[in-house]
Chains A and B, each alone.
Chain A
């Protein structure tokens, strides 16, 4: 055999290849054995409270010694109770001719849209009511952080993984459970779902890694996932969330 041919890597030389193959085999066997025996653990310690990033709202700090206020404002009264809102008198656009004096007719409130032939009074009333509510909202102090963002929606914030925080917020917005869920179920139910996301954040498919055992709870999770609007993942994470998915542990 020519010397050059003897050096060719295409020639199988058992005495050189055999040890390498044996090493590779041993490594593979060891890895598979370890993977089989060692329970997979999530990257995130699920017993820990997740760290969430929130956009802090611009506002003044509410003194800690004050009792808390609800951010949303007072709930609406239950039907058929209605809350009477004092409405300032509004002059009609067509004043009665006989009763007029030489004084000019009172001008209608500013920014009142032209009324149709029917239901005009209700339009004016709605306009006044919305203005009253807007004025009340403006006059109520907004509590948040003096260094916050006008578009923020949280009065407090903590640092965390940005994209996962956005995903968490999107999933929570659609996460609705029936109020009839018993206390015991609220304390003990949990289910893990794996979401597979495309580059736009849409859920390509999802599946239960572990079900809760409560059909109503699992059905509510399916509805929540279908209704969620998840933001697009960062470019470097797209493949990961498309192929490996994102695990979500749901608890009431």
Chain B
């Protein structure tokens, strides 16, 4: 072959060689840093006579949005926009709001009409320069906080496509100085305490029925722990079930047709299940160790419970019929009070760490990965309960002295003490979404 032929052949294959060498490298980026969405609440405008209501509405809404953990509510001191600008997109200089870093903008006009409060709420996307939500809500003179909670729910719903939880209630046991116990319901922001039940004896471990119309709790009226229900309409307690020496920690299945509880019929503590009316109790665990504290998966097909069959209390999973029991926690020596998230992805629980401090943790039932929620915040953070949208946790904490309610994001980055009650609070239970 001549040099000319070689040269031509080389040129003929040159594109192939070049193509083989020019493949682009790719990398994958995940695990984003999620940060709250910056949102601005413009000072609400008020017609004469509604100024105080407008201010309260703004304050409660601001507090709710902060509590949600998904918003960064901007300080109004830094606002640059003209306070007199209007409520429609063409009348708003969005560049002023963008300059202060806002992605969302909330404006409202508050009026008093025939003794009622009317709040016209407007939500704007600053980057797009358009209105995305417009609502007019009204309520009685004492409904200002509820109007604000509803607005917060609507804003959360718009951004996340999931329901907000600010019209739900947090139930907690309040231990009074004289020894009496009360079941008290609070707003999510810890306000508006309402005593649902008062008992001279010991009551604990309340749980909501999924329809929100009744509560299941443990009481010692007969001298031993039994399950009782409280109808929230009549406020009448009624004994539901008592088995042997111990019947406690009852929780409703997600469809409300069954209850799971800790029972001891033969001197051995086990996980039991029964119909919601207390009939047909069936034992699910038979291990001679202490088994109890069940919690349902959101699909009702599985239960998580605590067992000391390995020597220390750890979390276990099983099917709703008691089959397929397997251990899921292998760290720590004292894991208790599991609560399955309504989203199904995490189970929150209390654990004692190597420094003998109680903290709240979460574990993935699928991967077994344990993550810490609280750390170096008092000596006891315990008894977590999930918001019905699974985006928030509530638990009790003694970081300020007396155990009080804390609302937290699931990773613990945003925690807020919501109560400052004179009494000790315990065993919180987050209520369902309003129907």
Taking the complex as formed, is A90 at the interface, i.e. its CB lies under 8 A from any CB of chain B? no
Residues of A within 8 A of B400 (CB): 81
CA A180 to CA B376, docked complex, whole Å: 28
Residues of B within 8 A of A179 (CB): 34-37, 69-71
One digit per residue, 1 when the CB lies within 8 angstroms of any chain B CB and 0 when it does not, for chain A 146-179 equals 0000000000000000001001100110011111
The answer to whether B414 touches A20 (Cβ under 8 A) is: no
Residues of B within 8 A of A66 (CB): 331-332, 353-354
Q: Knowing A31-B15, A73-B375, A184-B161 touch, does A247 contact B25 (C-beta < 8 A)? A: yes
In this complex, what residue of A is CB-closest to B35?
Answer: A176
The answer to whether B162 touches A194 (Cβ under 8 A) is: no
In this complex, what residue of B is CB-closest to A52?
Answer: B27
Residues of A within 8 A of B351 (CB): 67
Q: Knowing A78-B414, A168-B27 touch, does A68 contact B33 (C-beta < 8 A)? A: no
The answer to whether B413 touches A27 (Cβ under 8 A) is: no
**Complex interface: stretch among A38-46, A99-107, A113-121:** A38-46
The answer to whether B354 touches A24 (Cβ under 8 A) is: no
Tell me the A13-46 residues at the B interface (CB within 8 Å).
16-17, 20-21, 23-24, 27-28, 31, 35, 40, 42-44, 46
Partner of A78, one of B35, B66, B332: B66
The answer to whether B9 touches A182 (Cβ under 8 A) is: no
User: Chain B nearest CB: distance from A78 CB in Å?
Assistant: 4
One digit per residue, 1 when the CB lies within 8 angstroms of any chain B CB and 0 when it does not, for chain A 172-200 equals 10011111111110000000101000000
The answer to whether A182 touches B412 (Cβ under 8 A) is: no
Q: Knowing A23-B12, A64-B331, A67-B370 touch, does A75 contact B415 (C-beta < 8 A)? A: yes
Residues of A within 8 A of B161 (CB): 182, 184
Residues of B within 8 A of A43 (CB): 23-26
In this complex, what residue of A is CB-closest to B6?
Answer: A20
CA A16 to CA B119, docked complex, whole Å: 91
One digit per residue, 1 when the CB lies within 8 angstroms of any chain B CB and 0 when it does not, for chain A 85-124 equals 0000000000000000000000000000000000000000
CA A167 to CA B29, docked complex, whole Å: 10
In this complex, what residue of B is CB-closest to A180?
Answer: B159
One digit per residue, 1 when the CB lies within 8 angstroms of any chain A CB and 0 when it does not, for chain B 136-147 equals 000000000000
Sample of 27 A–B contacts (CB below 8 Å): A9-B3, A20-B5, A20-B8, A27-B13, A31-B15, A31-B19, A40-B23, A42-B26, A50-B28, A65-B330, A67-B353, A67-B354, A69-B375, A73-B375, A75-B414, A175-B32, A178-B159, A179-B69, A179-B70, A180-B70, A182-B161, A183-B343, A219-B127, A240-B22, A248-B28, A249-B29, A251-B29
Question: Top 9 A-B pairs ranked by shortest CB distance?
Answer: A24-B12, A180-B159, A247-B26, A179-B70, A74-B376, A78-B416, A178-B37, A42-B26, A177-B32
* 11 new A-B contacts at CB < 8 Å, known A67-B351, A68-B371, A78-B417: A20-B12, A67-B359, A67-B361, A168-B27, A175-B29, A175-B32, A178-B35, A180-B160, A245-B24, A248-B29, A249-B27
